[in-house]
Amino acid sequence: MIAGNNQSDNVKDVFYTDVDGNTPVGGMSGKKLPDASGLVSTETMKSDAFVGTLNGVTDDSVTWLRAQYGSTSFNQGYPVISGRYLTQRTLTLQDGITVSSLMHDDLQITLEALAADSEDYRALAETGSLLSAYSFVTTDKNGSFAPSELWSAGGYKLSIPTGNKSVVLIAQNTEGETVTIAPESIKDGSAVFTVAEVNCFAVAERATVLIGDVNRDGRITIDDATLIQKYAIELPVDVFDVNAADVNRDGRISILDTTCVQKYLAEHTEGIGDAGKYRVLA
């Protein structure tokens, strides 16, 4: 492996060390120096010809150069590595999913659908009802694993096609920890999420509730108003969804919520609270 070693007399040794047959920095071309164990003189190392030799075995992601500012040679005239910055890229992945991030130009991302009986799938499914689940694999262009923290910055913005308005992203990092992320936006048929680190992820559906439909028959009727009234004065009720009952969102279930439902049924537009809306449960 070739590495720069500033201000060291041993820099030539570092340049020419060939550890376990590793290719040089940026050497995804697979080329090696003509003589991996060879030594060159200090003067040769400071020559433009030697910079040319180094560039001959590295690929486009790394450029060796000898930098000079006025009469001052940077790094005492030894070659230095000019790295390339990460660039903002958007990749289109499986199933129309796109991912944007500051990435290295050679970073490849592939998604694979997780099998329902896989360990990762089961871990994700503990958090929610999964609609789809994928592994998220980052590699270089040769297919070798590329760690996200070195090959990208600022996290990944995932845009996932869905017509579902109550989706969340469940992401698992490499330590196996899961986080549930709400969409930043849902528009043009896609939900957009930003995730810091991802080993695998799932799109899941959060439970929703129709506010006012306390007997859970899918409709808001006078029966619901009556049930809220009964519940508020502690009369026994049969089926009663408390998540749907606080229609005016004041934190209590009271006669005021009954009034909201009654006004909703009378087709008022004011004083109805959230009656008729869908609320996503946390």
162 binds Ca ion (CB under 5 A): no
Whole-angstrom Cα distance, residue 242 to residue 73?
A: 74
First to last CA, the chain: 51
59 binds Ca ion (CB under 5 A): no
224 binds Ca ion (CB under 5 A): yes
DSSP one-letter string for 112-136: EEPPTTSHHHHHHHTTSEEEEEEEE
Given candidates 250, 268, 277, 278, which one binds Ca ion under the rule CB under 5 A?
A: 250
* Neighbour-count burial of 206, counting CB atoms closer than 10 A to its CB (0-12 exposed, 13-18 middle, 19+ buried): middle
246 binds Ca ion (CB under 5 A): yes
274 binds Ca ion (CB under 5 A): no
Binding part of the chain for Ca ion, among 12-20, 27-35, 37-45, 239-247 by CB under 5 A, reads: 239-247
CB of 274 closer than 8 Å to CB of 208: no
Whole-angstrom Cα distance, residue 156 to residue 86?
A: 13
Given candidates 211, 257, 263, 264, which one binds Ca ion under the rule CB under 5 A?
A: 257
Contact letters (x/-) for Ca ion, 167-206, by CB under 5 A? ----------------------------------------
* Interface contacts to Ca ion, rule CB under 5 A: 213, 215, 217, 219, 224, 246, 248, 250, 252, 257
